Amino acid sequence: MTRINQRTNIIAQGAHVLAVLALTSAALSQTTAPASQPSSGPATTTSAPAGVPDLCNGPLDPYDAGAERNKFFQAAGVDNELNQQEFGADQGKADGFVRKFDRWQTMLTFDENRNGTINWFEADAYRQDVRKRLLAQFDLNKDGRLAGPERDAANRAIADGWPERSGLAASRPTLDRFSGMSEAQRQEMAAIMESQRRAMMERYDVNHDGQLDEQERADMRRDMRRSDPMSAFMDRFKLKQFDADGDGQLDADEQAQFDQFNSSLRDMGRQWGRTLMSAADDPQATDAQRQAFRAATMVEGMKMMRKFNAVMDIDGDGQVSIEERQAFSQHMSDGISRYMNSLVEQCDTNESGRLSDEGRRQLLETIDGDFRARIKKFSADDGKPTPQTAVRAVADFMKDMGVDLDAE
């Protein structure tokens, strides 16, 4: 049985696009980060006080782990490890990972493997600890989010130098999120990352000086975006569905409509993350139970990464080349297009090929319903998802797209 079937049959039942894309993108960029614990409750925000930007939204409350992960890898470069020089270079960038409240020495206390750099697992643990300390100080009603005067006070404090000026010292995370990974698994992760680093250097280090300059990094980022299956699909989707005058670009009104739809899609993805990580946010769970859940999630992520690598390694040499990664990404992009087009046809009530406002709403509801049906299918009798639930659901969906992660 081939790993990538030539006859790809995209069905529109029980699929969840964003969840599988998050895992696929993670595999393509050689990260193994599990879904991170987002803020509890709805992602409610209020406008920041006059003159003070909303510094909480994204990195802290609500915590957008997916967006922050992308920013982190942009800052960390080819080896996916953030060092002090890269931290400094990213500081002050308008859309960078490093924010006003971040301090290198504080972040470095989360360096679990003591290699002097920060990987995504460690950065995620650091950010969640910062968020915990922020809520402890400003979430006065203890509802797990900042709104109204609470949010205003938090934004003012960050703008004024929080947490240093608050007197709150940096702390180690309560839970060791890496305790579930054995030494062999840690070594395996390091080997995979080193393999990726070598492949990236071989491809993009044009002047062979052993490092990537700004132009070489720009070339790498350009190709990574091109090889992101979700980005490739959305570039086509937004023109087909939102370019009403057909001039090949979006004007201000068309872009605003697309941005609203895309924001709804991302919000839905964050809600799925809350669903999958609900056990880690259960107020009745003990610290040990939450730690065990996160550890199991991390181990399952490692298993899934192995499967993705095996699928992408077309020539079977044990290494995933840039070309193999791009070929797999193209296959995924084609599959996503066929799948989404089948859903668009279902929701295109006026049969014009372009969805109405109602059709877009139906499309979002259909995708969300498919995701929840798939999770329910693979959840235990009590309906609560486990780390294995997400892996089984993704593998099943990938099979629908013609990619058999379980094939020998």
- Tens of pLDDT along 336-390? 888 888 889 999 988 888 899 999 999 999 989 988 888 888 887 777 788 888 7
3-class SS string, 176-195: CCCCCCCHHHHHHHHHHHHH
End-to-end CA distance of the chain: 8
What pLDDT was estimated at residue 187?
A: 67
3 domain-assigned: no
pLDDT tens for residues 66-98?
Answer: 889 889 988 998 778 899 989 999 988 888 999
| Two tokens, residue 263 | 């924001």
Rounded to whole angstroms, the Cα distance separating 31 from 279 reads 23
Burial of 166 (C-beta count, 10 Å sphere; 0-12/13-18/19+):
middle
322 domain-assigned: yes
- What is the arithmetic mean of pLDDT over 141-147? 87
Average pLDDT, the chain: 75
Number of domains in the chain: 1
Compare 81 and 169 and report the one with higher pLDDT: 81
pLDDT tens for residues 110-133?
Answer: 887 777 889 888 899 899 889 988
Closest CA to 16 of 230, 217, 228: 230
Rounded to whole angstroms, the Cα distance separating 220 from 224 reads 6
What pLDDT was estimated at residue 267?
A: 82
| Two tokens, residue 323 | 């070309």
230 domain-assigned: yes
Q: In sequence order, what are the residues at sequence separation of 6 or more whose Cβ sits closer than 8 angstroms to the Cβ of residue 252?
A: none
405 domain-assigned: no
- The whole-model pTM stands at 0.55
pLDDT tens for residues 270-297?
Answer: 778 777 777 766 667 777 777 777 777 7
Q: Is the pLDDT of residue 166 over 50?
A: no
406 domain-assigned: no
What pLDDT was estimated at residue 181?
A: 60
pLDDT tens for residues 189-236?
Answer: 666 666 767 777 888 888 888 777 778 878 877 777 666 667 777 888
What pLDDT was estimated at residue 96?
A: 92
Instruction: Give the max Cα distance, the chain.
Output: 62
Q: Is the pLDDT of residue 19 over 70?
A: no
- What is the arithmetic mean of pLDDT over 145-168? 78
Range from 102-106, 134-138, 272-276 carrying the lowest mean pLDDT: 272-276
Structural domain boundaries, residue 122: 17-400
- What is the arithmetic mean of pLDDT over 21-25? 38
Rounded to whole angstroms, the Cα distance separating 221 from 390 reads 29
Question: Quick check: helix, strand or coil at residue 403?
Answer: strand
What pLDDT was estimated at residue 25?
A: 36
395 domain-assigned: yes
- What is the arithmetic mean of pLDDT over 34-45? 37
Q: Give ∠ CA 213-216-220 in degrees, rounded to 5.
A: 130
- What is the arithmetic mean of pLDDT over 153-173? 66
What pLDDT was estimated at residue 37?
A: 37
48 domain-assigned: yes
Closest CA to 17 of 269, 313, 308, 200: 269
| Two tokens, residue 22 | 């998050």
Range from 30-34, 58-62, 326-330, 338-342 carrying the lowest mean pLDDT: 30-34
What pLDDT was estimated at residue 59?
A: 92
What pLDDT was estimated at residue 408?
A: 55
Q: Is the pLDDT of residue 163 over 50?
A: yes
Tokens 């992408």 identify what position?
A: 312
9 domain-assigned: no
Question: What's the gap between Cα 177 and its chain centre?
Answer: 18
